[in-house]
Chains A and B, each alone.
Chain A
Amino acid sequence: MQTEKLRYRAFYWLMNASFIMITFGLVSEILEAFTGIYAFGMPDILVAITVPIGMLLATVVPVLLLSIPAWRDEYADLLWKKAVSVLVVSFAVGPLLLFIFFVIAYQIIGGEEPPEWLSLFFDPQRPADVLLRSWWVFNAAFVFIFQIVRWRDSR
């Protein structure tokens, strides 16, 4: 019995795994920010095993999914193109809209210093941190948009 090529299956498997790990990572960060509980309060041994795998799937794998055409057949390529076109427009428009939102919010709130939730935007950041964060957000956004495009196409 013939089965489809492994690389085509791997593309979707890795996309799903990446999506799950990015979602877990985001939820974990939000949980930690609000409750101080790190990595869902998992035991240290489990954290030591899952965090490196999760980091790999949430950071390196999206880069491979974005940049290796050989993993995509023509349908995956079509979804990829749709996702990338949305991604490009989002990154052209998104930062500008965020900038406008934060500036207007600060103008409305006023005060000598911005409140804590706004200080993240106004406090100076090291270029290396900004670069790393932007890189991660770009790749994570690609995975999210791809999954949304795929879900919409399957309806």
Chain B
Amino acid sequence: MKNRLKVLRAERDWSQAELAAHLDVSRQAVNAIETGKHDPSLPLAFRIARLFDMRIEEVFDDTPQA
């Protein structure tokens, strides 16, 4: 699933470790989500959306890839 996490993080000038601290996950988890290797659980997706004051669908894009 595509997402805007890397862009949103960069806009706030946060490192992956800093974002991980905000979300209470590991840096490896942030990296896996950013690179699309791991789809976050629903609770984590909500935490991400709340942190950036956005709706989940504004952060994550689940439209099928062509």
Interface majority SS on A: helix, strand, loop or mixed?
A: helix
Question: Measured between C-beta atoms, what is the minimum distance from B9 to chain A in Å?
Answer: 13
CA distance A2 to B24 in the complex (A): 11
A3 to B38, CA, bound (A): 21
* Contact indicator A4/B17 (Cβ below 8 Å): yes
* Chain B residues with a Cβ closer than 8 Å to the other chain, count: 18
In this assembly, does B21 line the interface, its C-beta being within 8 Å of a C-beta of chain A? yes
- A76 and B29 contacting across the interface, CB-CB below 8 Å: yes
Asked whether, in the complex, the Cβ of B26 is within 8 Å of the Cβ of A2, the reply is: no
Which positions in B face A, CB cutoff 8 Å?
Answer: 17-18, 20-22, 24-29, 32-33, 37-38, 40-41, 44
Q: Which chain A residues (1-27) contact chain B, with CB distance < 8 Å?
A: 1-5, 8-9, 11-12
The size bracket of the interface on A is: 10 to 19
Are B24 and A75 closer than 8 Å at their CB atoms? Answer: no
Asked if A73 and B24 sit within 8 Å, CB to CB, the answer is yes
Partner of A2, one of B21, B38, B40: B21
| Contact among A1, A8, A11, A75 with B38 in the assembled complex (CB-CB below 8 Å) | A75
